[in-house]
Structures are given as structure tokens and as C-alpha cells.
């Protein structure tokens, strides 16, 4: 025990029996990290912090919330008016959900741009897609809880989708509802699941991080770290960089919370749920809009539906396409089989990457518009392109793209582009690329 | 990458502005000057108290503000005695008493605002089948918020010749579909303001909307005050963190 690496005797005593301090020392201090990570590598830790914020605010909300159709809406207003700092807690939780998705979407596109899903990080990536799915489920369930008009009608529209599944569809919907319409049993099970899923997320995120620490982070030039010269210890270099990033994030986040807390919400959700009055436009939260657009683009006369129209109804096709748009991410590491990771050395892939980003944004805009021309056509084209990107373009690029020569090591370009701030050092080659 | 990002942002701006949400044939409400908008906005106390008077003397005949309690009025500058008087003018049902009977008593500051109708059916029966919605969250529950409510209240016009209105309906520029079941609620001099402000329709619309905006977001002033402090603190903290980050990283470059 006397030869413990910890000077503090209490720490050494504990560590001898339960090696938590060795573990932290190993994972944080000794953990070697590529020295050239840019600010896009901040978003993973940000997402983790937001999850903690969501769990803490959520637990406090649950202390005052009443999961009953007759009281849910009023209990939220009670939180807003009569609970000490209740408005703050609720606005943080509400805007936290949006922030979570912004951060995670950036995190995912970062992974795509720099090829972080490629060997040996496929399982890390797959766990990430699972996290996305569970987050989406959690957010959907949570949005139902305040029992406003959009809560109710959103829940009705989305749960009804399952009825498109042949044979068992209707039984599934009844099971989800706990009855024959969205009603009190639905609200109760949604609350229960909304409380459960974030803790499932925690478990999967632990696995995500175990997988990450197995081979370490990818980096902007996408080549493996080769010598100790290429890496720096996570602490203090990236802890302080992550903290600075957190500061910038919090300024923006609290800007919304304090000065525009309902900017991202829908006014209809301040009207109590009413099964007898359908809102003129039922729109989901902004982060579901691209998926909603894919769902709605499969209409009976849509060109993209024709090839499969003999097989299934347009409704089922839409539902399957919506799920497929995420499922396709699971096999992304094998669809994109180019040996080069980073888009910096893949001139064609880089352009297609940005086309995909634009395509997703167009889908998002279409999802917010009423299902009328020209938006239906635009969303059909954008849906077709989305799948084309993954299923046709990426595999072909792997065969035909002429990639640029890779640097021999991480230290090489960093030393050359060096001087000044790390951000400038990493931004420069990106502009040139 | 930076160039591509800028072009993406530009594309989004162009696309999302073309063809906004179709909202019937209603006109977009004009922007008003509100004391409570902006980073440092606060509710104008005079407008709040006049607005309460308009609500109490006009709108309360049909609309509830069920999430407010009379005690909340102390937050907009009424004295406790005044609030007691305002509450006592209304009757609430309480009970059961020792004999098991429900009874009527004057409202107390701790009571929620008394509703004009006991239930939706009664409200519809009293309004030609239309339901006057609760107004507590109205400015949060409509696109356009306070601007919309103000425009609605002062947006009654003679209908154009080709437009046929149903029995008991009024023509309003800003209401979706332009036909509203609420007769123009405000007319010149409908209330007599204690502070001698002239009770024009536009003045009353402005005051009652301010009152409703407060009813919807009673935490607004507190929120913004706290927000300024939190953001200032975070800016300083982030600046310091940036300095530390540069210092820590300086030995690498
Ligand atoms: C993955 C993390 C989470 C996400 C993405 C999430 C998302 C959401 C969303 C979108 C809402 C609706 C907000 C609104 O419009 O009012 C909501 C409400 C709620 N959430 Fe969560 N939540 C998360 C974690 C939690 C946790 C851990 C709890 C604790 C049990 C919780 C408890 C609640 C409660 C009680 C409400 C209703 C109150 C309200 O609507 O403001 N949430 N959640």
C-alpha cells in the first residue's frame, strides 16, 4: 500500500480496495488523446452534460407533475406559477430537449464528415445510433406529458402509424394506448416510460464510452495515432477545452431559456388537449421534422412509392421509410467502405456530405409545411436523395473516388500548420481542404 | 468547410422564408410596442391595472382566467385591501359545512378567479353555441402572441360585400377564416379609467393585452432580470475558461 501512486492516504486506502481512483486516473489523465481534435469534438461531452441536466430537472418536475388527463395540464401550470423556480426548471427541461438534439445531430454529422464510424469504431457508432433512437422515443413520450393540443394530437398521429403494420398492427396500437384511443392509460404508461428510458440511455452511454476508450478518438485527419508525439493526456488539455466549450454552449442555451423559452415550441401546446378539436396543422417538435417529411412523402401517387406499391400500402411504406432512414445508419460502416476516414482527403465524398446536410435541412423544412404542392414534391425528391446517398452513392464512391495522399502522422500537419491557437491550427487545414 | 457552412445557412434562410404557414385568409397582425418585450422589458404597471379593469368589467362576462388567483393581483401593484375588495365582489361555492351542505361565500384572495360560467355547456348556451376560451394562456397559445390578441380586439371591420356572414357572427380581419363568434367586445368609453386615461378601443385593447400577457407569464420580469445576471456571469466565466485553455495549451504550440 505504501507504494501506491496516490499520496493522500485515504485515497490510497480506498483505491487499494476499490480501484475507482486508478480507474479515473487511467481514463482521464493517462488516457491518450490525439492532439489535433478540433471543436467538433466538444459535442460528445456536451451531450453527456445535457443528459445529466435533463435527468436532474426531470426528476424535480416529476415531484410536482400529475400524470392524469384531468390534472396534467394544470399541474404543469402549477409548476410554472406556484413551485419555487418551477418555471426555470421546466424551461430548462423543455429547451434542454431541443439542445440535446442540436448537439447530438452535430455530433453525428461530425462522425460522418471525419469517418469516425469506420473500423475499428463500428460498434461505437452503432451504440450511438441506439442512443439516438432511445432519445427520440424519450422526447416523443415527454412531449405528451404536458397534455396540450400538440401533445395529444402528436401522440394520436404517431401511435396510429403502427396500425399500418399488417396483421398485428391494430393490436400494437391498442397496447400502446392501453385502450381504444389516446387517453388516461396512455398518459400513465408514457410517463412511466419517459422516466425509465433516460436511465437506459445512461447504461448505453457507458458502453459507448467503453467502446470509445478501447481505441481512442478519431481525429480530423482520420489517421491512427502512431507515436506518443501524436497524443496528449485528456486531462488537462481536453478537460479545459471541453469546459470552455460548455461555457459557450451555456451562454446560448440560457439565452433561450431566459429570453425566448417558447421560441422552439408550438403555441398550440398551451391549449389543453381536446379530443374533439383537431388543430389545423399537426406538427411534431422541430427535431422530428425531417423524419416526419420522409413519412409523409409516401403518398399513393408518389413516384418513390410506385416501385413498391404492389407490395404494401403507401402508409406502411412511409412508416417503414421513416424507420429505415435511421436503420440505414446502422450499416453505414459497411455501406461506406472507402479505406480513407476523413472527408479532408476525399474530395468527392466531401461534396456529397454537404449535399446530404442540405438534403436533411430541406426535409426538415418540408416537415414543417402543410402537405401541399410544391412541398410534397420537394419532400419526395429529398427523401429519394436521402436513401440514394446511403445506398448508392456511398458504396460507389468507395470504388471510384480518387482520394488525396494521407499525411504520414498526426504530428506532421499539426506542426506545419501550428502556431497561435489550436482552433486556428485546426481550422486552417479545414479551409484549405 | 466554413464556406460550405455559410452557403448551407443561406440556403436555409431562403427556403424557410418562402411560403410561410398558410393560416386561412387571416391577415398577419402588425407588430406593437410592448413594455414587456426586449431583453430588459418589464410590464407597465399602469397598463396592467387598467388592463385588469377592462378584463374585470368587460371580458369577465364571458371569459375565465382560471389559472390566476386574486392574490396574484398584488404582484401588479394592488394593495392587499384592494385585492380583498376585488375578491369579495365575487361569490364562490365552498363546503361542505358541518351539516354536509355546500354554501356560497364571498371570494378570498387565495381563491382562483371565479369563472363566468360553471362549465363549457353553460358557456356555449350563453354564447350562441360558441365557446369563449379561457384567457390565462391566450398570449402564449396563439401564433403572434400579444400582437395577435391586440389586433383581434381592434380588428373588427364591415365585411366586404361578397362575404356572407352566418347568423350572430362578426367580421374580423385577424381571426382565422375572418368570421368570429365574439361580437366586438370593446367600444369607445366602455370603461372609465381611474387614472383618467382616455378609453379608446386601441387603448383598452393595449391595456387588456398587457394584462393577459402578464397572466400568461407572471414570471417574465423575474426571468429576464435573472437571465441578464446569469448570462453576464457565464460570459465572464467563459472568458476566463478561454484564458485558462490558452494557457494550458500554450506549451503544445
Ligand atoms: C433523455 C432525456 C430526456 C428528454 C429528451 C426529455 C424530453 C422531454 C420533453 C420534450 C418534454 C416536454 C416538455 C414540454 O413541452 O413541456 C418532457 C417533459 C417531462 N419530462 Fe422529460 N426528458 C428527458 C428526461 C427526463 C427525466 C429523466 C425525467 C424524470 C423522471 C423527466 C420527466 C419529465 C416530466 C415530469 C415532464 C412533464 C413536465 C413538462 O412537460 O415540462 N424527463 N421531457
Q: Give the per-residue pLDDT at A29.
A: 79
Tell me the catalytic residues of A: 213, 217, 241-242, 285
Query: Do B120 and B241 lie in a common domain?
Result: no
Residue closest by Cα to atom 40 of ligand 1: A146
Query: Do B155 and B239 lie in a common domain?
Result: no
Q: At A433, is the pLDDT very low, low, confident or very high (cuts 50, 70, 90)?
A: very low
Q: Give the per-residue pLDDT at B210.
A: 98
For the stretch A344-401, pLDDT in tens is: 999 999 999 999 999 999 999 999 999 888 999 999 999 999 999 999 999 999 999 9
Q: Please tell me the distance from the alpha carbon of residue A208 to that of residue A299, in angstroms, as a whole number.
A: 38
Q: Which residues of A307-346 are buried (b: 16+ CB within 10 A; e: fewer)?
A: eeeeebebbbbbbbbbebbeebbeebbebbebebbbbbbb
Q: Give the per-residue pLDDT at A413.
A: 59
Least confident segment among A281-290, A418-427, B59-68, B240-249: A418-427
Least confident segment among A207-216, A222-231, A412-421, B227-236: A412-421
Q: What is the position in ligand 1's atom list of the atom closest to the CA of A197?
A: 1
Contact A299, A180 (CB under 8 A): no
Chain A residues closer than 8 Å to B15 by CB: 361-362, 365
Q: Give the per-residue pLDDT at B167.
A: 87
Query: Do B129 and B240 lie in a common domain?
Result: no
**Reported pTM:** 0.91
Query: Do B190 and B121 lie in a common domain?
Result: yes
Q: Is B84 among the domain residues?
A: no
Q: Contact A240/B4, CB-based, under 8 Å?
A: no
Q: Give the per-residue pLDDT at B236.
A: 98
Q: Please tell me the distance from the alpha carbon of residue A278 to that of residue A271, in angstroms, as a whole number.
A: 12
The CATH number linked to B193 is 1.10.760.10
In chain A, the residue whose alpha carbon lies closest to the alpha carbon of B40 is A259
Chain B residues closer than 8 Å to A270 by CB: 137, 140-141, 216
Chain A residues closer than 8 Å to B253 by CB: 418-420, 422, 425
Q: Is B21 among the domain residues?
A: no
Q: Give the per-residue pLDDT at B163.
A: 86
Query: Do B155 and B182 lie in a common domain?
Result: yes
Q: Is B81 among the domain residues?
A: no
Residue closest by Cα to atom 7 of ligand 1: A139
Q: Give the per-residue pLDDT at A423.
A: 40
Res. A333: pLDDT tops 90: yes
Q: Among residues 262-321 of chain A, which lie with CB inside 8 Å of chain B?
A: 262, 267-268, 270-271, 280-281
Res. A421: pLDDT tops 50: no
Where in the sequence is the domain holding B224, given as residue range(s)? 220-247
Res. A1: pLDDT tops 90: no
The verdict on A74 touching B (C-beta cutoff 8 Å) is yes
Q: Give A94 Cα–ligand 1 centroid separation in angstroms.
A: 7
Q: Quick count: other Cβ atoms within 10 Å of Cβ B55? A: 21
Find the helix or strand (DSSP H, E) in which B171 lies: strand B170-171
**Ligand 1 pocket check for A65: Cβ under 6 Å:** yes
Q: Which residue intervals of A229-338 are DSSP H helices?
A: 234-259, 289-297, 314-330, 332-335
**Chains A and B: how many Cβ contacts under 8 Å?**
117
Q: Contact B252/A251, CB-based, under 8 Å?
A: no
Distances (CA, A) of B65 to B85, B214, B215: 18, 12, 8
Query: Do B51 and B161 lie in a common domain?
Result: yes
Query: Do B159 and B47 lie in a common domain?
Result: yes
Query: Do B181 and B64 lie in a common domain?
Result: yes
CA B17 to chain centre: 26
Asked if the bond preceding A236 is cis, omega within 30° of 0, the reply is yes
**Ligand 1 pocket check for A222: Cβ under 6 Å:** no
Query: Do B141 and B168 lie in a common domain?
Result: yes
Q: Is B11 among the domain residues?
A: no
Q: Is B15 among the domain residues?
A: no
Q: Phi then psi for A313, rounded to 5 degrees?
A: -70, 160
Q: Is B241 among the domain residues?
A: yes
Query: Residue B206 — left, alpha, or beta (φ > 0 → left; ψ -120 to 50 → alpha)?
Result: alpha
Query: Do B202 and B231 lie in a common domain?
Result: no
For the stretch A133-168, pLDDT in tens is: 999 999 999 999 999 999 999 999 999 999 999 999
Give the pairing type, strands B103-106 and B91-94: antiparallel
Chain B residues closer than 8 Å to A281 by CB: 21
Query: Do B184 and B225 lie in a common domain?
Result: no
The HSE-up count of residue A97 (CA atoms within 13 Å, CB side) is 26
Q: Contact A244/B238, CB-based, under 8 Å?
A: yes
Res. A418: pLDDT tops 70: no
Distances (CA, A) of A57 to A278, A375, B244: 31, 38, 30
Q: Is B36 among the domain residues?
A: no
For B16, the closest of A35, A247, A365 (CB atoms) is A365
Contact B23, B143 (CB under 8 A): yes
Residue closest by Cα to atom 42 of ligand 1: A58
ipTM reported for the complex, 2 dp: 0.91
Q: Which residues of chain B have pLDDT under 50?
A: 14-15, 17-24
Q: Contact B252/A232, CB-based, under 8 Å?
A: yes
For the stretch A101-139, pLDDT in tens is: 999 999 999 999 999 999 999 999 999 999 999 999 999
The HSE-up count of residue A74 (CA atoms within 13 Å, CB side) is 10
Q: Is B55 among the domain residues?
A: yes
Q: Give the per-residue pLDDT at A422.
A: 42
CA A296 to chain centre: 22
Into how many domains does chain B fold? 2
Query: Do B162 and B61 lie in a common domain?
Result: yes
Find the helix or strand (DSSP H, E) in which B111 lies: none
Q: Give the per-residue pLDDT at B9.
A: 54
Contact B211, B35 (CB under 8 A): no
The minimum CA-CA distance between B206 and chain A, rounded to whole Å, is 21
Average pLDDT across chain A, whole number? 93
Asked if the bond preceding A272 is cis, omega within 30° of 0, the reply is no
Amino acid at each position: 500500500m505504501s507504494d501506491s501512486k496516490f499520496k493522500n492516504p485515504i485515497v490510497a486506502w480506498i483505491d487499494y480496495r476499490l480501484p475507482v481512483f486508478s480507474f479515473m486516473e487511467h481514463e482521464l489523465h493517462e488516457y491518450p488523446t490525439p492532439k489535433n481534435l478540433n471543436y467538433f469534438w466538444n459535442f460528445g461531452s456536451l451531450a453527456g452534460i445535457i443528459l445529466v441536466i435533463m435527468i436532474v430537472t426531470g426528476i424535480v418536475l416529476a415531484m410536482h407533475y400529475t400524470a392524469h388527463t384531468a390534472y396534467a395540464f394544470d399541474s404543469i401550470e402549477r409548476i410554472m406559477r406556484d413551485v419555487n423556480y418551477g418555471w426555470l426548471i421546466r424551461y430548462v427541461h423543455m429547451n434542454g430537449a431541443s439542445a440535446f438534439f442540436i448537439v447530438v445531430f452535430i455530433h453525428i454529422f461530425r462522425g460522418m464528415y471525419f469517418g469516425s464510424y469506420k473500423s475499428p469504431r463500428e460498434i461505437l457508432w452503432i451504440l450511438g445510433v441506439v442512443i439516438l433512437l432511445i432519445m427520440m422515443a424519450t422526447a416523443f413520450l415527454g412531449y405528451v406529458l404536458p397534455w396540450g393540443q400538440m401533445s395529444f394530437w402528436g401522440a394520436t398521429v404517431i401511435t396510429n402509424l403502427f396500425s399500418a403494420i399488417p396483421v398485428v398492427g391494430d393490436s400494437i396500437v391498442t397496447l400502446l394506448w392501453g385502450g381504444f384511443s389516446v387517453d388516461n392509460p396512455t398518459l400513465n404508461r408514457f410517463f412511466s416510460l419517459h422516466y425509465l428510458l433516460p436511465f437506459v440511455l445512461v447504461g448505453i452511454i457507458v458502453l459507448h464510452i467503453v467502446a470509445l476508450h478501447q481505441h481512442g478518438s478519431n481525429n480530423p485527419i482520420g489517421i491512427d495515432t502512431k507515436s506518443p508525439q501524436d497524443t496528449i493526456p485528456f486531462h488537462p488539455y481536453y478537460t479545459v477545452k471541453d469546459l470552455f466549450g460548455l461555457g459557450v454552449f451555456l451562454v446560448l442555451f440560457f439565452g433561450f431559456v431566459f429570453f425566448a423559452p417558447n421560441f422552439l415550441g408550438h403555441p398550440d401546446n398551451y391549449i389543453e388537449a381536446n379530443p374533439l378539436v383537431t388543430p389545423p396543422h399537426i406538427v411534431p417538435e422541430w427535431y422530428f421534422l425531417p423524419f416526419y417529411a420522409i413519412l409523409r412523402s409516401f403518398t399513393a401517387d408518389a413516384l418513390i412509392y410506385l416501385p413498391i406499391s404492389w407490395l404494401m400500402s403507401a402508409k406502411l411504406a412511409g412508416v417503414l421509410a421513416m424507420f429505415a432512414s435511421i436503420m440505414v445508419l446502422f450499416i453505414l460502416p459497411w455501406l461506406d467502405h472507402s479505406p480513407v476516414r476523413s472527408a479532408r482527403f476525399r474530395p468527392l465524398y466531401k461534396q456529397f456530405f454537404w449535399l446530404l446536410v442540405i438534403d436533411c435541412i430541406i426535409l426538415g423544412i418540408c416537415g414543417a409545411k402543410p402537405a401541399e404542392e410544391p412541398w410534397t414534391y420537394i419532400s419526395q425528391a429529398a427523401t429519394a436523395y436521402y436513401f440514394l446517398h446511403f445506398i448508392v452513392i456511398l458504396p460507389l464512391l468507395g470504388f471510384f473516388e480518387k482520394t488525396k495522399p494521407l499525411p504520414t502522422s498526426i504530428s506532421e500537419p499539426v506542426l506545419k500548420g501550428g502556431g497561435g491557437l489550436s482552433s486556428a491550427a485546426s481550422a486552417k487545414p479545414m479551409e484549405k481542404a | 468547410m466554413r464556406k460550405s457552412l455559410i452557403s448551407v445557412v443561406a440556403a436555409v434562410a431562403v427556403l424557410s422564408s418562402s411560403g410561410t404557414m398558410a393560416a386561412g385568409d387571416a391577415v398577419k397582425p402588425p407588430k406593437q410596442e410592448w413594455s414587456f418585450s426586449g431583453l430588459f422589458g418589464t410590464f407597465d404597471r399602469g397598463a396592467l391595472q387598467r388592463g385588469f379593469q377592462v378584463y374585470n368589467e368587460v371580458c369577465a362576462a364571458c371569459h375565465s382566467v382560471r389559472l390566476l388567483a386574486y392574490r396574484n393581483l398584488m404582484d401588479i401593484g394592488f394593495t392587499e385591501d384592494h385585492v380583498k375588495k376585488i375578491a369579495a365582489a365575487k361569490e364562490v361555492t365552498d363546503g361542505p359545512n358541518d351539516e354536509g351542505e355546500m354554501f356560497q361565500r364571498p371570494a378570498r384572495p387565495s381563491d382562483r378567479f371565479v369563472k363566468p360560467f360553471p362549465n363549457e355547456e353553460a358557456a356555449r348556451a350563453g354564447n350562441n353555441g360558441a365557446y369563449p376560451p379561457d384567457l390565462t394562456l391566450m398570449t402564449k397559445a396563439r401564433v403572434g402572441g400579444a400582437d395577435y390578441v391586440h389586433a383581434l380586439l381592434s380588428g373588427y371591420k364591415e365585411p366586404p360585400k361578397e362575404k356572407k356572414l352566418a347568423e350572430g357572427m362578426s367580421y374580423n380581419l385577424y381571426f382565422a377564416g375572418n368570421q368570429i363568434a365574439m361580437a366586438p367586445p370593446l367600444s369607445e368609453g366602455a370603461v372609465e379609467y381611474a387614472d383618467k386615461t382616455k378609453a379608446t378601443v386601441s387603448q383598452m385593447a393595449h391595456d387588456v393585452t398587457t394584462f393577459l400577457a402578464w397572466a400568461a407569464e407572471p414570471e417574465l420580469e423575474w426571468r429576464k432580470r435573472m437571465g441578464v445576471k446569469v448570462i453576464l456571469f457565464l460570459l465572464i466565466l467563459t472568458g476566463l475558461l478561454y484564458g485558462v485553455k490558452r494557457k494550458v495549451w500554450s506549451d503544445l504550440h
